[in-house]
Structure 1
Amino acid sequence: MVGIIVTVLVSRGSSSADSEPSGGSAPGKQATPSATVSNEDEGAAPKVRYTGGIRIALDSGGGDIDLDSKPPLVGPSNEGSDIFIGANTDGPDIGTEDSSLTMALLPGSGPAPSERECNEKIEKNGIYNTPLARGARLCIQSKEGRTAYLRTVAAPTAGPVQFAVTVWEQPS
């Protein structure tokens, strides 16, 4: 039944396109309704800006990460940074630079979230600080509007903290 409906829509699109003054025959005009149908589904996956690893030393008390840089910029104090990794006696922690609720903690296991899932988690369960442990998974919204997913690969009390990171481009 769906095939019949699609056929009817394409046929209607072609017949109305053929009646336009700029006219021309069907080959170029038939592609237009098909493109219109596919444009209705704008749920296409956002473009990934960066995927890879980030390592940050804790020997000087921690550091900052700017998720808007390509690749993300890691250092002791970065202007424009989005999150900080701090060294505490109980272990490292992560927080947003301006204490905004632009971070969400995800369950410890499961598939990597999509950008949309991350944004929904941040909107519903936004936090600004949390302790880090190996396996911790977080969604973060950058100051410039990018969404990132971080999975903690290593979070020792002493030594570098390591993340697997995906940062998506800004929505257009």
Structure 2
Amino acid sequence: MGFIGLPAAGVNSPAAKVETATATATVTNTVTATVPGPTEDSSTSASASTSPAVRWSGPLLISGDFNLDSVPPGGVLPTDGDIELSQISDGQEAVLRSDRANLAVVPQGESPDAARCAVLAQTQGQRLADLPVAAGGKLCLVTNEGRSALVTVTAVHPQAQNVSVDVRVWQKTD
């Protein structure tokens, strides 16, 4: 009978408190694992707070060259714009190019801020290259006057030979 009492005594023994301490340590480890999430959010908030203000943001219908430095962005004479619809390939992709700016494809799932767009344009951008972009695709560039811009293709219209885009142009940084 003493054997049957031992487990009951073990539940109320200091060993049971050690198990509780171990469970607390596990919770502490879980909290520690969660800490990097807010740190990333904090750095994102910090970069967002230091990011320049948005100069202009909205939808555009592009069928030729567009100057993204004007407010609102507007069509210009050929080869004077920051971005140009070169053609529509296979009815599914807008082929965009620039004679003045480096265009960089944004990695899928990324929503860059002004600084990240500038880095992408400077390090991975291409000038005078035709970049096919399907609906949902994004491009970063730095305009002729030095403003970061994000262009998101929202729809391709093969019959009309134009493309709908959402554009965000940030103020210049000094």
Query: What is the number of equivalent residue pairs in this alignment?
Result: 122
Partner of 1:164: 166
Cα deviations across residues 7-35 of structure 1 (Å, max 9, x unaligned)?
Answer: xxxxxxxxxxxxxxxxxxxxxxxxxxxxx
Q: Is the 8 A contact 1:87 1:157 kept in 2?
A: no
Which shows bigger deviation, 159-168 or 82-91?
82-91
**What's the C-alpha RMSD, in Å, of the aligned pairs?**
2.1
Which structure 2 residues correspond to residues 17-28 of structure 1 after superposition, within 5 A? Answer: none
The structure in which a higher percent of residues are helix is: 2
* Equivalent-residue separation in structure 2 for 1:94 and 1:104 (angstroms): 11
| Secondary structure of 1:132's aligned partner | strand
Structure label with greater radius of gyration: 2
* Equivalent-residue separation in structure 2 for 1:116 and 1:127 (angstroms): 18
* Equivalent-residue separation in structure 1 for 2:148 and 2:52 (angstroms): 10
Q: Report the residue type matching 1:121 in the other structure.
A: L
- Amino-acid identity (%): 29
Partner of 1:147: 148
* Equivalent-residue separation in structure 1 for 2:58 and 2:141 (angstroms): 16
Partner of 1:87: 87
* Equivalent-residue separation in structure 1 for 2:131 and 2:78 (angstroms): 20
Partner of 1:51: 57
Q: Is the 8 A contact 2:154 2:164 kept in 1?
A: yes
* Equivalent-residue separation in structure 2 for 1:138 and 1:168 (angstroms): 14
**Which 5+ residue runs of structure 2 have no aligned equivalent?**
1-46
Q: Name the CA shift for 1:158/1:164 in 2 (closer, same or farther; >3 Å).
A: same
* Equivalent-residue separation in structure 2 for 1:120 and 1:83 (angstroms): 18
Q: Is the 8 A contact 1:151 1:163 kept in 2?
A: yes
Partner of 1:125: 124
**Which 5+ residue runs of structure 1 have no aligned equivalent?**
1-40, 57-61
Partner of 2:98: 96
Q: Name the CA shift for 1:66/1:78 in 2 (closer, same or farther; >3 Å).
A: farther
TM-score (norm: length of structure 2): 0.63
Q: Is the 8 A contact 1:84 1:96 kept in 2?
A: yes
Q: Report the residue type matching 1:52 in the other structure.
A: G
Q: Is the 8 A contact 2:125 2:141 kept in 1?
A: no
Q: Name the CA shift for 1:44/1:66 in 2 (closer, same or farther; >3 Å).
A: same
* Equivalent-residue separation in structure 1 for 2:120 and 2:88 (angstroms): 26
* Equivalent-residue separation in structure 1 for 2:167 and 2:112 (angstroms): 12
Partner of 2:28: none
